[in-house]
Amino acid sequence: MNKLIILIFFFSFFLNNSYTEEKKFCFENNDYDQFNSIEKLNEIEIEITDKKKWYRNIFLIVRNQGWIKNDIKKNHRAKIIFKFENGFLCQDIAKIRFHGDNPDHYKIIDDFHIISSLNIKLSKSNIENNTEFKLFLPFSRADENEIFATNFLKELNFFAPKTKKLYVKINGIKSEYLFQEKISKELIEKNGFPEGPIIEGDQRFLHTGMRNLNLGRVINKNWSSRNWRNAHVSLDALSKLNKVYLDFYNNINEFKIYKPYAIYYTDLALNEENIFSKKNYYLNFYDDLISTMNIYDHALVPDNRTFYYNYFENYFYPIYYDGDITPQKKNISQINLNKLKDNKEIIKKINTIDKKNLNYLNNLSGAKLINDESVSSLLNSIVYNLKHISSERSFNKEEIKSYRHTKYFSKFKIDNIMLIFYKSYPDNFYVCDFDLSDCKDEKFDLEEIGDILSQTYKKNTKYKYIFVSNDFNNYSEKDYIPSKNKNWINLETKNLKIKYVKKKIKIDIDEIEKIINIEQVEKDGRVILYSDKTIEKWKINFNSNLNYKQNIPLSGTLESLDGCITIYESKIDNIDVNISNGICEDSLNIVRSSGNINQINIKNSFKDGLDMDFSDIKINSIEIDNSGNDCVDMSFGNYNIFSLKLNSCKDNAVSIGEKSNLISNDLYAVNSLNALAVKDSSIVKLTSLYSKNNKFCFKLYNKKQEFLGGTLKLSNLFCDSKYVVEKNSNYKNNEL
C-alpha cells in the first residue's frame, strides 16, 4: 500500500511529453491507404493525455485484486501513433481503457511502472477497417498460441479475429503486445457476410458465484435497433441461443462455480436442417475442434462463447475468441477406444492445410517462436485429440429436444432479478419477477429493445433485467411443445432452390422455357433463390399490384428481407430479371454471388431498385425507372456493368461504397438527386458519364470511419450541374 501511495505521489508531478516530430493524422494522409493493413503495422506508440488520471485508475484496479468490475475501467483520451513498414507514420486521437476481468491482464514492471491489456477506440481513422481493437498482454492469451489458433481456424473457414504480435510503447514503456481486431460488424463484413446479430455471453453473474444465470447478449445493438425487422431477427436469434443455454444449465444436476461446463453440441442444437446445411456442414465440428486445443474447453463455456447469426440462412456461425490455447495430446486413459466419435471429415480438411503457408501466416503475424516443426507438432496434437474423442460426446436432435428449462430462474429465489419475454408483434413484452408470480405487460421502443437485447436495460436500478425468450409458454409450461415456424415454403427445380413466404407470394414455374413468374400478394412477400450449382439461362419476372406509397415505413417481420427477390450465394450465368412495383427495401438484392447477367429491368421500386453486396457480378445492361431511394446500390464487391440507363432515382442513380470496384462503359442518369456517389474506399472506372437534370453529376466522399474516401477515373463527362470531391477522395479525368 505504501508503494502505491508513493506511485500516486510520483505521477502527480509527471509532466506530459510531446512529440518533437509533427505527424499527420492518418485520415488526412494520401499515402495511408497503401500502408493500412495489420500485416504492415510494425509498432504503436500511445501517449495518454492525462497521465495522473490514468495511473490513479490503474492503481485502483491493482488494489481491487480478484475480479475487476467494469465500472472501474474508465475511458482515457490519448494520442496514438502508428508505425508501418518503410518508415511510414501517422497518428490519431483515441479513447483507451483497461481490458480484462482478472489480474492476468496487468503486469507490475517495477515500483513505478504498470502495463495492462487495453481496449482502443480510434476517433477518426481505422486500421484495416477496424475502428476498435484490443491490445493484449501476450501471457493473457497464451502468447503465440493465440496467433496459431486464429490463423489455423481461418484456414478452415471459421470466424477468428486477425491477431499480430508487435511492440507497443505506452507513456514511454515499450513492451510486446498482441494486437487483435475487435469482434464486430467489421469482422463479419471482412469475411464476406452481411451484418447480423453478434451474440456473446452475458457475464454479469460470473463474479457472484452464479455463472449458470449467464445467458447471451447482442453486442451490436445499433444494428438490432435500426429498424423493426432487425429487432425481431435479433429477438428470435437471442431467444434460440438462450433456450440452448437454459436447457444446458438445467440438465446439470449440481452446478459448481469453479468447474468449466462446456457445450459440445451447439451446431446441432441451434441450426435446423435447411437448404444451406450442405455448405455449412463443417460448423458441426467446431466444438470438438476447439476442445482439442485447450484442456479445460475454456472457449466452449456458454459465457465465453460468441456467435454470428446469418438471417439469410437462419444459421448460427461460431466466432473464436479467448480460447486459452494450449494444444497438447490429451490423456486418453479413461476413454473406451472402441467407442470413438467420427471426426474423419474435419481431420481430412486439416490434413489439406498447407503447413508452410500456415507458418508463413504466423510469421507475418509477428510470431517468432513458431516454426515449420512446431506447426506440424501442433496440428498432430489436434488430429490426435480429434481421433480420441469419446462417442459419449455424440448427441442427436431428439435427445437435445428432450431437455427442458421450465421456470428455471425460480429455483434461485433472487428478488433483484426481473425477467423479460417478447410477447407479440411488434412491441409487446412481459416483464416478470424471478418466479413469474407477477408479470406485467409493457411496450418498448426500438432504443429500449436494443438495451434489452444487449442485457443493459435499466428501468429500475434495484433490479438486474434478463431477456430470456420470445416464447413465454415454452419457458413457463413444463409439457408445452413449441410449434415450428412454417412461414417459408421450399421447392426445387433444375438445380435451383426457391424459398418464398407462404400466402404472401404466388409463384409459377415453366421448367421447359426456364421462366419464373412471381407475384407479390402482400407487402411482406419475399423470395430467395439459391443454387449449389449454377442458376443458368433463367428469366425471372416479378410484379406487385399492391398500392403502397414510396418510403412509407414497411413492417418489420422476420420474413421481411431487404430484397423482394434475393439471389443468395449462387453462381449466375446469363439470366434476365424484370421487376415491377416491388414493395421492399430492394426490388432485387444479390448477395454473396458471382457470375454474369444479361439484363435487369426494374420499374417503380419502393426504395432501392438493385442492391448488390459481397458479390462479383458482370452485367450487360441495367435499366431502372422510378426508385424511392437509390436506383443501383453496390457494396463489398467487384462489379462490371457495360451500360446503365437510370431515371427518377430519389437519391443516387448509382451508389457504390464499402471498398467496392466498378468498371462501366456508359452511365446515363437523369432526373435524380445525384448521378453517381463513390464513397468509402471504392473505385469507379467509367468511360462516359451522362448526367442530366440531376442536382449533382457525381459526389466523392468518405461516410464511414472504417473506410477512406472514393476514387473516380473518368474519360468523358457530360454534366449540366456540379460535382463534389471531398477531402481524401480523388477525381482523375482522362486516365482510362
User: Which of 66-70, 452-456, 514-518, 593-597 has the least mean pLDDT?
Assistant: 66-70
Q: Nearest-CA neighbor of 137 among 181, 102, 107, 113?
A: 107
Long-range Cβ contact pairs of 366-369 (< 8 A, separation 24 or more): 366/147, 366/164, 366/165, 366/166, 367/144, 367/147, 367/148, 367/165, 368/144, 368/165, 369/143, 369/144
Q: How far apart are the first and last CA of the chain?
A: 69
pLDDT band for 420, please (50, 70, 90 cuts): very high
The answer to whether residues 702 and 679 touch, using CB atoms and an 8 Å cutoff, is yes
Reported as a single tens digit per residue, the pLDDT across 186-234 is: 999 999 999 999 999 999 888 887 888 999 999 999 999 999 999 999 9
In this prediction, residues 35-44 reach a mean pLDDT of: 95
Q: Nearest-CA neighbor of 640 among 670, 615, 623?
A: 615
In this prediction, residues 441-455 reach a mean pLDDT of: 96
710: alpha, beta or left, given left = phi > 0 and alpha = psi -120 to 50? beta
Q: How far is CA 376 from CA 37, 150, 288, 408, in A?
A: 28, 16, 19, 46
What pLDDT sits at residue 98?
A: 94
DSSP string of 426-489? TTEEEEEETTSSSEEEEE--HHHHHHHHTT---SSTTSEEEEEES-HHHHH-TT--PPPP--EE
The answer to whether residues 148 and 362 touch, using CB atoms and an 8 Å cutoff, is yes
Q: Is the pLDDT of residue 336 over 80?
A: no
In this prediction, residues 98-119 reach a mean pLDDT of: 89
In this prediction, residues 335-344 reach a mean pLDDT of: 78
Q: Nearest-CA neighbor of 700 among 685, 678, 721?
A: 678
Specify the higher pLDDT residue, 142 or 404.
142
What pLDDT sits at residue 404?
A: 82
User: Which of 51-55, 80-84, 576-580 has the least mean pLDDT?
Assistant: 51-55
pLDDT band for 10, please (50, 70, 90 cuts): very low
| Joined grid coordinates for residue 133 | 481493437
The answer to whether residues 691 and 712 touch, using CB atoms and an 8 Å cutoff, is no
Beta carbons within 8 Å of 18's beta carbon, 6+ residues apart: none
Q: Is the pLDDT of residue 15 over 70?
A: no
What pLDDT sits at residue 20?
A: 35
In this prediction, residues 695-712 reach a mean pLDDT of: 94
In this prediction, residues 390-408 reach a mean pLDDT of: 81
436: alpha, beta or left, given left = phi > 0 and alpha = psi -120 to 50? left
In this prediction, residues 487-514 reach a mean pLDDT of: 92
Reported as a single tens digit per residue, the pLDDT across 530-552 is: 999 999 999 999 999 887 776 66
Residue 600 to residue 579: CA distance in whole angstroms: 8
Q: Is the pLDDT of residue 51 over 50?
A: yes
Percent share of the chain, pLDDT over 90:
71
Average pLDDT, the chain: 90
In this prediction, residues 399-427 reach a mean pLDDT of: 89
In this prediction, residues 96-106 reach a mean pLDDT of: 92
Q: Is the pLDDT of residue 340 over 80?
A: no
Reported as a single tens digit per residue, the pLDDT across 663-685 is: 999 999 999 999 999 999 999 99
In this prediction, residues 607-624 reach a mean pLDDT of: 97
What pLDDT sits at residue 16?
A: 39
Residue 263 to residue 244: CA distance in whole angstroms: 9
Q: Is the pLDDT of residue 565 over 70?
A: yes
- In 3-state terms the chain splits into helix, strand, coil percentages (rounded to 5) of 25, 35, 40
The answer to whether residues 333 and 346 touch, using CB atoms and an 8 Å cutoff, is no
Residue 329 to residue 382: CA distance in whole angstroms: 7
Rg of the chain taking only CA atoms, in angstroms: 27
User: Which of 255-259, 351-355, 372-376, 475-479 has the least mean pLDDT?
Assistant: 255-259
Domain ranges of the chain: 1-146+156-182, 405-476, 488-733
In this prediction, residues 563-588 reach a mean pLDDT of: 96
Reported as a single tens digit per residue, the pLDDT across 240-259 is: 999 999 999 998 877 777 77
Residue 239 to residue 468: CA distance in whole angstroms: 6
Q: Is the pLDDT of residue 303 over 80?
A: yes
Beta carbons within 8 Å of 24's beta carbon, 6+ residues apart: 90, 91
Q: Is the pLDDT of residue 14 over 70?
A: no
CATH class of this structure's domain 488-733: mainly beta
Residue 396 to residue 411: CA distance in whole angstroms: 28
Residue 231 to residue 426: CA distance in whole angstroms: 9
The answer to whether residues 341 and 390 touch, using CB atoms and an 8 Å cutoff, is yes
Q: Is the pLDDT of residue 147 over 80?
A: yes
| Joined grid coordinates for residue 278 | 450442405
Q: Kindly report the number of other CB atoms within 10 A of residue 432's CB atom.
A: 21
Most confident of 393-402, 406-415, 571-580: 571-580
Residue 92 to residue 566: CA distance in whole angstroms: 40
In this prediction, residues 625-649 reach a mean pLDDT of: 97
Q: Is the dihedral of CA 291, 294, 299, 302 positive or negative?
A: positive
Please give the angle made by the CA atoms of 363, 369 and 375, to the nearest 5 degrees: 70
What pLDDT sits at residue 209?
A: 79
Burial class (CB in 10 A: 0-12, 13-18, 19+), 23: middle
The answer to whether residues 677 and 656 touch, using CB atoms and an 8 Å cutoff, is yes
In this prediction, residues 95-117 reach a mean pLDDT of: 89
| pTM confidence score | 0.92
Helices 144-155, 372-387: crossing angle, 10 deg rounding: 70
Specify the higher pLDDT residue, 394 or 577.
577
The secondary element (H helix, E strand) that includes residue 603 is strand 594-605
Q: Is the pLDDT of residue 1 over 60?
A: no
Q: Is the pLDDT of residue 611 over 70?
A: yes
| Joined grid coordinates for residue 702 | 468518405
The answer to whether residues 412 and 419 touch, using CB atoms and an 8 Å cutoff, is no
What pLDDT sits at residue 280?
A: 86
